[in-house]
């Protein structure tokens, strides 16, 4: 069992299984034509997990709502894990391009919205004033500290 959100792999033990015709679900009528399904109860450590509706003839099942990928074949787990890693690598590789695109979009949005330009300029001015005020406080503390030393 591959926990896709973490990722980690755990071996599980089948406690019980029930293979049957799927129940009719009006929101998914096509499921009736996909063949038999298997409901599993598996033990992982002290935890029991119910996995319902696995295709009876498949060797893998994906449960996105639980963040799990289940397979009886370690090679299939390796393939799924490799695909996850490759997808994450594509995201990492595209970071700089998307950051640049975001920055260009921000600049265009600012150029098209004078009110936003004014807000941004005001925020910049306030930040500069806060920095100058902090510098003045620091200089004042230094001057006061110097005067106290002279008086002693």
The mean pLDDT value of the chain amounts to: 86
**pLDDT > 70 fraction of the chain, expressed in percent and rounded:** 88
Which among 32, 72, 73, 74 has a CA at the least distance from the CA of 53? 32
Buried b (16+ CB within 10 A) or exposed e, 108-118: eeeeeeeeeee
- Is the pLDDT higher at 152 or at 49? 49
Task: Quickly state the pLDDT bin for 14 (edges 50, 70, 90).
Answer: confident
At 95-111, the pLDDT tens digits run 999 999 999 998 898 88
At 25-82, the pLDDT tens digits run 666 555 555 678 888 899 988 999 888 888 888 888 888 888 989 888 899 999 999 9
CB contact at 8 A, 36 and 43: no
CB contact at 8 A, 131 and 125: no
């Amino acid at each position: 069992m591959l926990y896709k959100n973490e990722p980690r792999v755990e071996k599980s033990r089948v406690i019980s299984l029930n293979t049957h015709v799927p129940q009719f679900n009006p929101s998914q009528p096509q499921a009736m034509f996909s063949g038999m399904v298997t409901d599993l109860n598996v033990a992982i450590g002290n935890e029991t997990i119910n996995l319902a509706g696995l295709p009876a003839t498949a060797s893998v099942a994906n449960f996105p709502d639980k963040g799990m990928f289940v397979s009886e074949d370690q090679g299939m787990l390796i393939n799924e894990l490799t695909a996850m890693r490759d997808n994450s690598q594509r995201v990492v590789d595209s970071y700089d391009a998307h950051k640049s695109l975001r920055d260009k979009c921000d600049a265009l949005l600012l150029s098209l919205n004078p009110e936003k330009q004014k807000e941004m300029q005001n925020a910049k001015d306030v930040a500069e004033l806060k920095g100058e005020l902090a510098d003045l406080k620091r200089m004042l503390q230094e001057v006061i500290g110097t005067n106290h030393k002279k008086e002693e």
